[in-house]
Amino acid sequence: MFPGQGSQTPEMRDDVERDRPDLLELATEIVGEDPFPKAEEGTNYAQPAIFCASLAGWDRLGRPDADLMAGHSLGELAALVAAGSLEERDGLELVALRGRLMQESGEAAGDGGMLALLGRGAADHAAELAEAHGLSVANDNSPQQVVLSGAKQALPAAADAAKELGLRAVELSVSGAFHSPMMAAAVPEFERAVKQVKISPPRVEVLSAVTAEPFADVAAQLTEALTSPVRWRETLIAMHERGADRFVEVGPGRVLSGLVKRTLSDVELANA
Q: In Å, how far are 53, 54, 122 from 60, measured between CA atoms?
A: 10, 10, 36
What pLDDT, on the 0 to 100 scale, is given for residue 148?
Answer: 98
Among residues 171, 193, 220, which one ends one of the domains?
Answer: 171
Question: Do 90 and 225 belong to one domain?
Answer: yes
Question: Do 32 and 92 belong to one domain?
Answer: yes
pLDDT in tens, 224-256: 999 999 999 999 999 999 999 999 999 999 999
What pLDDT, on the 0 to 100 scale, is given for residue 110?
Answer: 82
Question: Do 80 and 186 belong to one domain?
Answer: yes
pLDDT in tens, 4-36: 998 999 999 999 999 999 999 999 999 999 999
Confidence of residue 272 (pLDDT cuts 50, 70, 90): low
Among residues 171, 189, 212, which one ends one of the domains?
Answer: 171
What is the overall mean pLDDT for the chain? 96
Query: Rounded to 10 degrees, what is the CA torsion of 183, 212, 255, 186?
Result: -10
Indicate if the pLDDT at residue 65 is higher than 90: no
Range of the domain at 103: 12-108+180-271
Catalytic residues: 73, 179
Question: Do 254 and 209 belong to one domain?
Answer: yes
Decide if 98 is inside a domain: yes
Confidence of residue 267 (pLDDT cuts 50, 70, 90): very high
Mean of pLDDT values over 106-131: 95
Question: Do 189 and 247 belong to one domain?
Answer: yes
Mean of pLDDT values over 155-168: 98
110 against 40, higher pLDDT = 40
What pLDDT, on the 0 to 100 scale, is given for residue 206?
Answer: 98
201: domain CATH number? Answer: 3.40.366.10
Phi-psi region of 262 (alpha: psi -120 to 50; beta: other; left: phi over 0): alpha
What pLDDT, on the 0 to 100 scale, is given for residue 109?
Answer: 83
Question: Do 128 and 246 belong to one domain?
Answer: no
Question: Do 122 and 205 belong to one domain?
Answer: no
Query: What's the whole-model pTM score?
Result: 0.96
Decide if 3 is inside a domain: no
CA distance 19 to 23: 9
